[in-house]
Amino acid sequence: MTGPLSGIRIFDMTRILAGPSCTQILGDLGADVIKIERPDSGDDTRRFAPPFLKDTDQKDTIESAYFTCANRNKRSMTLDINHPKGQILAKRLIAECDVFTDNFKTGGLAKYGLDYDSLKNDFPHLVYCSITGFGHTGPYAKRPGYDVLIQAMGGFMSVTGEPNGEPQKAGIPVSDLIAGMYAGLAINAALRHREVTGEGQFIDIGMLDTTAAILSIVGANYLATGVTPERIGNAHPNIVPYQSFPTADGDIILAVGNDGQFERFCNFAECPHLFTDERFATNADRVKNREILIPILREIILLKPSKFWLEGLEANNVSCGPINRLDQVFNDPQIKARGMNLHMEHPATGTRGVDMVASPIKLSKTPPSYRFPPPMLGQHTEEILREVIGASDREIAEWQAENVI
């Protein structure tokens, strides 16, 4: 057994990021992910470059770094679903799969006979997960969805950025990634239901829905009060002080989560009068008077270097930390100790291999495994056809001659 999802086979028609990030999670957990790609071009992200992976001579390969972030533990098969024989072949493969995933626009697979309504009667066991920008219902259902568009429409950008600045997107494609995570969770729930009942089902994941779902405390604050939140930079709407501060030689994050931590901070910073000041005695007081308190704290923290604050506050059990660049992240002893740096061999890079971020999931009995690096386009087409449907050499040659695969 190579993971808790060993024995689960996925017919994966997703591309770009939301869908592939979902199926990579499932692949890491042992699922056999068959990545269906267009002949000659493949997943769009193969061309989202530079940067490209480098070979042993430091020359660019044809493989983009972008593609590697969401496509390990998959086998790539090329298939032209525009071709009638491609549609027939797809259904032969689907018959041997447990899960179908796609992120075509709503209704986009119907013309190929590969939408849920076309498949559910022939394959009642199938768990079918569709990831779209806006879901399959509602006035926006037919619209395409892109991460930055969803961040904007889902309210994320309205609460991100400095108070007097422009709305900002996150530095990572958070709407794509959270949709993929919710999709992976839903697929596992549907597989559990099938285990009990024998029934497959349709999963409708809309990126706007999942982005609204992670508005979390900001959404809760609005729903409780009716007050539209404003951008507050790196500060927290409900906790003070809980933000970045400049030091004498850099910046740190200070995350004072309770009144006890604030008292310890004040004692260490040699400003105990702040804790006894009735304006700042409790978190509710500090939230109410943040515009008075924060400038005072800025002046105090600016006097000493980051090392002074980080070491001293940690010793006093006050939550704080550095603001790391990515070179610092991947060389951080905690990241290394947790095994978050992953290196795999890759057919395009020779002995250089490829470096990736490992799965963060730690399971004591069935941990993630790393069986396949991100595949070359069509690398496993013949292998899959022989293994999954028992295709003969003659059949494969005919499909190749007719540009079906």
Residue 106 structure tokens? 């709503």
Residue 170 belongs to what domain range?
Answer: 9-214+335-401
Does 315 share its domain with 373? no
Same domain, 255 and 198: no
CA gap 147, 94 in Å, rounded: 29
What share of the chain has pLDDT > 70, as a percent?
100
**289 to each of 221, 237, 270, how far by Cα in Å?**
18, 12, 20
Q: What is the spatial distance between Cα 105 and Cα 154, in angstroms, rounded to a whole number?
A: 18
| Full-model pTM | 0.95
- What digits encode the pLDDT tens for the residues 345-399? 999 999 999 999 999 999 999 999 999 999 999 999 999 999 999 999 999 999 9
Same-domain pairing of 97 and 133:
yes
At 2, the pLDDT band (50, 70, 90 cuts) reads confident
Residue of 312, 274, 130 lying closest to 206 (CA atoms): 130
Of 268, 262, 303, 130, which is closest to residue 209 (Cα–Cα)? 130
Catalytic residue among 28, 80, 176, 209: 176
Whichever domain contains 293, its CATH number is 3.30.1540.10
Domains in the chain, number: 2
Would you call 57 a catalytic residue per the annotation?
Answer: no
Residue 1 pLDDT more than 90?
no
204 & 166 share domain: yes
